[in-house]
Structure 1
Amino acid sequence: MSLRLFDSKNRAVRDFVPVEPGKVSMYVCGITVQGPPHIGHMRVAVAFDVVRRWLIRTGYDVTMIRNVTDIDDKILIKAAEHNDDWWKWAYRYELVATAAYNTLGVLPPSYEPRATGHITEMIDLIAELIDRGHAYESGGDVYFDVASWPRYGELTGMKVDELQPAADTDNDSKKRDVRDFALWKGQKASEPASASWPTPWGRGRPGWHLECSAMARRYLGSGFDIHGGGIDLRFPHHENEIAQSCAAGDEFAQYWMHNAWVTLAGEKMSKSLGNTLSIDELTKNARPVDLRFYLATVHYRSTVDFSESSLAEARAAYDRIEGFIGRADVAGDISTVALPDGFVSAMNDDINVSGAMAVVYDAVRHGNSALASGDKARARELALQVRAMLDVLGLDPLSEQWVDCAESQTADLGWAIDDLLAQRTEARAAKDFARADAIRDTLTAHGISIEDTPDGPKWSR
């Protein structure tokens, strides 16, 4: 079966046919760097990393753009609250976001443009929209005229008469219609002068929606294949992107893909709600690969309700897979290993990772049976297939990403493990077997295996 994707705009699964044969162009909305990224942000990154990896695995030459929004109302507010320069604040958390992507094994994008580096393209796009009669200047601001674009609402199915006023400006008196949205925001006395750029309409800064349209056009052209992002961006952000880009004459995205939320106790995770979980905090108690497994093995359109217990279940499932691969002893290259038909069919069915993982689990089960019966050749064949399938999901335990991570973690913890083993030896000598067993259980719970030898206890991950 050839690749089929659910297109949010058409609300249907469609055969994937790229604009240019053999190539795929993707634009995925990145992070607004107002603070550290949380697990919800990483859900987006991991979901589209899996999409990208599958496209690459099936032979496409993929160009993937993921932007950085480094100028925004929220960034200016946060920086002011901490008496910091907004551009320092934005760059600091851009680096934190990059570290989080790397921690979870997300491939670097083909390019990662910053909004502030593309002001010229934004000004040109605004000028085109004004010339075409779809935008107007008012008191230093520039607005998109929603009523001038009859197709407005085509992504979400909303009708113009049903729209609530746009929430990206507090200056509705400047608009022709309260539903119009800002393309350019005139400089405010309350904001730093450095957060503005000269334009034919006066100094100011871009509206959030405009940024992505300008950068997508700059790097992917007027028409490209896939636009991705979280489901919360469908309105108003993506709806406004479509309107302004198409009104300027661009074809824009051919397929729209949206991943579902991460929730905490059933409530959408967001900074404004204060129920965020940062990647730094989460990886204090969980290996990065376990966290990626947790995020990557749920269908991208399914909601993830985060809990410690569900993360523990994911950790246990991945441990079982790692254990099989370790026992089968299949280090080496997997680039030429053929993927099972069932896995391929599942991934081609709108990136159905749940169905794909069923094939992985089945192979692990049969592989363990082969090991138990002494059929090492069959076990090795299945273990190589498991590694190849996991590689598509960015989860091959023998990949450089996770081997290096494990070695680094082991080196960092080595002194502590040695100390605990010494305590265990003392407890055993004192016949305090309850304490000795408790220490062993603690180490086992953290992925450390202990082997008692004539030369003393040895440990390994």
Structure 2
Amino acid sequence: MEIYNTLTGKTGEFLPLNDKKVAMYVCGVTPYDEAHLGHARAYVTFDIIRRHLAQSGYEVKHVQNFTDIDDKLIRRAGELNLTVRELADRNIGDYFTQMDKLNITRANLYPRVTENIPEIIAFIRNLVDKGFAYPKEGDVYFSVRKFPGYGRLSGRSVDELRAGTRIETGENKNEPEDFALWKKSKPEESAEISWESPWGKGRPGWHIECSVMAGRFLGETIDIHGGGQDLIFPHHENEIAQSESANGKQFVRYWIHNGFVTVNREKMSKSLGNFFTLRSIFEKFPPRIVRYFLLTQHYRQPLDFSDDKLVQAQTALGGLDDAYLKLLDTLEAAPAGAAPEDESTSGTLNRFRKALDEDFNTEKSLAVLHEFKKEILSTLHSAPAGLRMAQAKTFTLILEGHLGITPPRPAEFPPEIIELKGQREQARRQKQWALADSLRIRLEQAGYQALDNPDGTSTLLRKKS
């Protein structure tokens, strides 16, 4: 597996720190507004990465934060006459609602900044003690020139930063390029956004939170750190400076950044009036169509959004759905006892995985899937039952297991059959093989067959009498 690393500017072999265990941190949202298409691009990207790593035998620990204290959040809460906590909770709830619709696997942990204040204060104190940071009239700043490696990720020199930065009114920092680790409370600010510290009441700056939470929950060196390309500078550059100054170790082995969503080739943003919430998009297009659309371009490239592009995605996914349902229909007449000939579709699965091994190239992997669709349709009525069963398993594994797109459902099954199927899948996950076998027999006695997939799920078929 090869991954493009923003830090090196090159694609190279993925070698995690601990063999088959991967520590992955992804920058989460600042929940001052509803989840939008830019969020979907980022989190579908890292969901694909996580799924492919898992399908490739890696055990992934995925941590994604919520920045639940921030200037934008404070400002927006004031406009809506809400507390910061109320606004954050509301929009975090919306985030989960929309991401669940997109079938995004939940991270192992979703820490909030406000849950990590003591750890943040201790981290800042360490930087001050080591001479990398300095307090100034209640604020604390990181001294950029004290960290020799500053600018490696973004390719910017400190002198370039100095030339393009000025000290704003109210800032007390020594140099223009220095950045805030701790912000002194203002008299008019409420107590809910202020914490006691060695430097007086205040709250964390933006960048410090991710250094602290990544280190706390994943360790001093992590394998993958991800986010949008707009986070490369200053956020991720500053994270490196903070973390490596604090512990003297490499912070991240592989930096992965997804491209922007554009509208008419301009970056989507509220200021340009071309901003789309997921809620509004889902009113016109099903989430699985939106997810498919987000996979049609390599994750590092810009993705241009329009209703026409979503219609094209709907047509393309509809073709895949049609082939899959036709294939399942032929399997209902498969002879009893027929077994999948898995080796017959191994070439397709290998080509698909190879495409994802090339820096998670979903555009290329979708091309493999569409070629597979043509193969299925061309042999629909001539292939032996074992081959067709293998095709159905492979199709499900690719579409759902790797790409996270729920396969289309044939005619609805009775609730009791769905329940039996779920019980059997749970038994298989728990390696209760005798129970799983007895549930399989009960399904067959009721006239159904469960076609097992490698990821522990199963495809239910109605056997024709």
TM range (shorter): 0.7 to 0.9
The Cα of 1:321 is off from its aligned counterpart by: 0.5
Partner in structure 2 of residue 217 of structure 1 = 215
8 A contact 2:165–2:176 mirrored in 1: no
Cα separation, partners in 2 of 1:229 and 1:130, compared to 1, 3 Å: same
> In the alignment, does 2:407 pair up with 1:397?
yes
Are 2:166 and 2:176, in contact at CA under 8 Å, matched by a contact in 1?
Answer: no
1:160-309 equivalences in 2 (<5 Å): 160-163=158-161, 170-171=168-169, 173-249=171-247, 250-309=249-308
Deviation by residue 1:327-370 (Cα, 9 ceiling, x = unmatched): 11169x99x88562211211111111111111101110010011
The question of whether the paired residues in 2 share the 8 Å contact of 1:55 and 1:62 is answered with yes
CA shift, 1:166, in A, is: 8.9
Q: Does 1:316 align with 2:319?
A: no
Whether the aligned pair in 1 keeps the contact of 2:69 and 2:114 (CA below 8 Å) is yes
Aligned to 1:354: 363
1:4 corresponding residue in structure 2: 2
The alignment-based identity, stated in percent, is 39
Amino acid at match of 1:271: K
**Cα distance in 2 for residues equivalent to 1:311 and 1:61:** 34
Deviates more, 1:59-68 or 1:375-384: 375-384
What is the distance in 2 between the residues matched to 1:399 and 1:207?
48
Instruction: State which of 366, 380, 384 in structure 2 corresponds to 1:371.
Output: 380
Equivalence map 1:372-387=2 (5 Å)? 373=382, 377-387=386-396
In the other structure, the counterpart of 1:343 is 352
Q: Is the 8 A contact 2:295 2:363 kept in 1?
A: no
The structure-2 alpha-carbon separation of the partners of 1:19 and 1:120, relative to structure 1 and needing over 3 Å to count, comes to same
Match of 1:58 among 53, 56, 59: 56
Letter in 1 for 2:377: N
Deviation for aligned residue 1:294: 0.7
Residues in 2 aligned to 1:312 and 1:32: alpha-carbon distance in whole angstroms: 30
CA distance in 2, matches of 1:292, 1:74: 28
TM-score (structure 1 length as normaliser): 0.82
CA offset digits 1:281-325 (Å, max 9, x no partner): 111111111111111332111111000001100011101101111
- Select the residue among 74, 84, 95 that pairs with 1:97: 95
Residues 231 and 260 in structure 1, CA contact (< 8 A), matched pair in contact too: yes
Unaligned runs of 5+ in 2: 333-338, 414-465
Output the CA distance in 2 between the equivalents of 1:165 and 1:174: 18
The separation in 1 between residues aligned to 2:76 and 2:386, in whole angstroms, is 59
Q: Which amino acid aligns with 2:308?
A: S
Shift of 1:382: 2.5
Q: Is the 8 A contact 1:263 1:305 kept in 2?
A: yes
Kept in 2, the 8 Å contact 1:367–1:383? The answer is: no
Other structure's SS at 2:41 match: helix
3-state secondary structure, aligned to 1:65: strand
Q: Look up the match of 1:452.
A: none
For 2:238 and 2:166, the matched residues in 1 are separated by 12
CA distance in 2, matches of 1:95, 1:229: 21
Q: How far has the Cα of 1:38 moved from its partner?
A: 0.6
Deviation at 1:170, TM superposition (A): 4.0
Q: Secondary structure at the match of 1:13?
A: strand
CA deviation digits over 1:63-82, x for unaligned, max 9? 00011010000000001111
Shift of 1:275: 1.9
Q: What is the RMSD computed on CA atoms of the aligned residues?
A: 2.4
Q: In structure 2, how many angstroms separate the alpha carbons of the residues matched to 1:347 and 1:117?
A: 36
Segments of structure 1 that go 5 or more residues without pairing to the other structure are: 404-461
For residues 399-418 of structure 1, the aligned pairs below 5 Å read none
C-alpha distance 34-355 of structure 1, shift in aligned 2 (>3 A): same
- State the match for 2:121 in structure 1: 123
Q: CA–CA distance in 2 between the matches of 1:164 and 1:6?
A: 29
Moved more, 92-101 or 292-301: 292-301
Match of 2:74 among 73, 76, 79: 76
1:229 maps to a residue whose letter is G
Match of 1:135 in 2: 133
Q: Aligned residues, how many? A: 398
What TM-score, normalized to structure 2? 0.81
Question: Which segments of structure 1 move beyond 6 Å, counting only runs of 4 or more?
Answer: 165-169
Q: 1:118 touches 1:215 (CA, 8 Å); kept in 2?
A: yes
